[in-house]
Amino acid sequence: MKFCLVIISVAVILQSKYKQKKMNRKTDTLCLHWEEDEGDCRFYGAVSFPIFQTATYAHPGLGQSTGFDYSRLQNPTREHLEKIVAQLEGGIDAFALSSGMAAISLLLEIFESGDEIIADSDLYGGSIRLFDNVLKKHGIKVCYTECYKNNIEHLITPSTKAIYIETPTNPMMNVTDIAKIAETAHNHNIILIVDNTFLSPYFQNPLKLGADVVIHSGTKFLSGHNDTLAGFIVTNRADIQERLRFLIKTTGAGLSPFDSWLVERGIKTLAVRMEKAQSNAIKIAQWLKNQPKIKSVIYPGLPEHPGYEIMKRQARGFGSMITFEVENKALVEKILSQVRLIKFAESLGGVETLITYPTTQTHADVPEETRLKNGITDCVLRLSVGIENPDDLIEELGKCFNS
Ligand SMILES: *Cc1c(COP(=O)(O)O)cnc(C)c1O
């Protein structure tokens, strides 16, 4: 009992101290430091937060708890990571799950049979696969539309509960004005969910623009090293937070302590990785534009991209994802069989540059008609630009195009 009282009073003192000194730290600093840790010398002052590899926690006595009971509910390493991600996105809470899809699946549990969701027609293929197969089974209807055109009013019915978007979209890079679509959502008392994977919280914070929930595949930029899977849900709504805390404990896909530590370590370099990858991407996009065998280059950091002005308003950068269309399928095959430094692989957002063929990889399960309507032809390739020297990347692409 005495022990608990000490813990509680220390927590109260720390909290009031924290409230007094809360500073307006910048995002690159927040990637490395959780403000509440400052001055905290628990765990011998370890600068790298410890991995609490434990499933359960001993209680001091009946009705008492250290604050942790069982790791499905919560684990100190996972909780620490969640605080950092919540802080980076400007949310009241974040939930770390075992993959991006686990995060999206958990979030969808807040809906009931009969509910409707309006979703962007161009989304990560796995999200569409989940909506079309699993959600349907639960009696939740998803209607797809081009949300970036902000013409969704006519699709809203009394059963509509949410709008689900990515901006820029995967892989066609359509840009939606988040503040505008949030206004539409709130006028109808529905929530706006934004998958912010492509830009990461370093470049864009949808909650600050009016979104209610942010999703991340933590596998991508947040962890950043192509070495682990993770997913996040971040919210600034207390009702959604409460529901999700119940759901994570009940369904059990919380991120493991070791993976939580890996993602936390990855986030420490988020700022430098995002800046370097973006500067590489700008060089590569400019170079691609001048290649005769390239039909189009879709990168929101090019001034001719239709979403360029919106991106400049609502984000702090353009990211490092480039989609481009080559003149024919033979060239696709040539590129994919010749790349060596650049890896032909699914995924994105890591330090290594990857090239992906959406038609047979990320978007293979999206119905062909939808795929083609969205512009994902069999000549479309997607580059996730890493942090290598850009000249080496351009040299390799040049060899594939021109040999
Ligand atoms: C990869 C990805 C996901 C799924 O995340 P996983 O970690 O692979 O489960 C969701 N949304 C987007 C935009 C993605 O790129």
Domains defined for the chain, CATH in brackets = 76-267 (3.40.640.10), 271-402 (3.90.1150.10)
Q: At CA 173, angle to CA 159 and CA 400, rounded to 5?
A: 145
Give the closest residue (by CA) to ligand 1 atom 12: 124
Q: How many helices (H) and strands (E) does the chain have?
A: 15, 12
Residues whose CB is less than 8 angstroms from the CB of residue 100 and which lie 6 or more positions away in sequence, other chains included: 124, 126, 197, 215, 216, 217, 218, 219, 220, 229, 230, 231
Mutate to test the pocket of ligand 1, among 120, 122, 124 (most ligand atoms within 8 A of CB): 124
- What residues line ligand 1, using a CB cutoff of 6 Å? 99-101, 124, 126-127, 166, 170, 195, 197, 217, 219-220, 229, 231, 348
Q: What is the pLDDT of residue 21?
A: 55
Residue 259 catalytic? no
pLDDT at 34 exceeding the cut of 70: yes
pLDDT at 17 exceeding the cut of 60: no
Residue 21 catalytic? no
Pair 55, 202: CB distance under 8 Å: no
The pLDDT tens digits of the residues spanning 130-183 come to: 999 999 999 999 999 999 998 899 999 999 999 999 999 999 999 999 999 999
Pair 224, 270: CB distance under 8 Å: yes
Residue 17 catalytic? no
- State the CB neighbour count (10 A cutoff) for residue 270: 23
Tell me what the pLDDT averaged over the chain comes to.
93
Tell how far the Cα of 33 is from the centroid of ligand 1, in angstroms.
Answer: 26
Gap between the terminal Cα atoms of the chain:
75
Pair 145, 155: CB distance under 8 Å: yes
Residue 148 catalytic? no
56-84 mean pLDDT: 96
pLDDT tier, 38 (very low <50, low <70, confident <90, very high otherwise): confident
Residues whose CB is less than 8 angstroms from the CB of residue 352 and which lie 6 or more positions away in sequence, other chains included: 226, 343, 386, 388
Backbone φ and ψ of 210, nearest 5°: 120, -5
Q: The tokens of 262 are what?
A: 């890996």
Give the closest residue (by CA) to ligand 1 atom 4: 100
Q: What is the pLDDT of residue 12?
A: 46
Pair 7, 60: CB distance under 8 Å: no
User: Which atom of ligand 1 is closest in space to residue 349's alpha carbon?
Assistant: 15
The pLDDT tens digits of the residues spanning 312-345 come to: 999 999 999 999 999 999 999 999 999 999 999 9
Give the closest residue (by CA) to ligand 1 atom 6: 100
Position with higher pLDDT, 284 vs 35: 284
